[in-house]
């Protein structure tokens, strides 16, 4: 048997999803860390990866 969601749980879910992405401003998307949508978060991780590579080369 599936547990029925209470109206309060459903309300919390809609509040989470109604907040726009902090980078691109897209609304009605699922937000991940740092209030970013998936595309913006992937772009941010790519930037961080490049920065780490530069640091690694600088210290070697």
Q: What is the pLDDT of residue 7?
A: 53
Residue 58 — very low, low, confident or very high, per pLDDT cuts 50/70/90? confident
pLDDT of residue 15: 52
User: How confident is the model over 3-28, as pLDDT tens digits?
Assistant: 665 555 554 554 555 799 999 999 99
Write out pLDDT tens, residues 33-55: 999 999 999 999 999 999 999 99
- Whole-angstrom distance, CA of residue 44 vs CA of residue 22: 12
Domain residue spans of the chain: 7-59
Q: Which pLDDT does position 25 carry in this prediction?
A: 94
Tokens 């969601």 appear where? 5
Judge whether 3 and 9 are in contact, CB under 8 Å.
no
């Amino acid at each position: 048997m599936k547990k029925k969601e209470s109206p309060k749980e459903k309300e919390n879910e809609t509040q989470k999803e109604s907040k726009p992405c902090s980078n691109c401003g897209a609304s009605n998307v699922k937000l991940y860390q740092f209030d970013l949508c998936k595309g913006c978060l992937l772009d941010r991780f790519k930037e961080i990866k490049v920065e780490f590579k530069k640091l690694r080369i600088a210290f070697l």
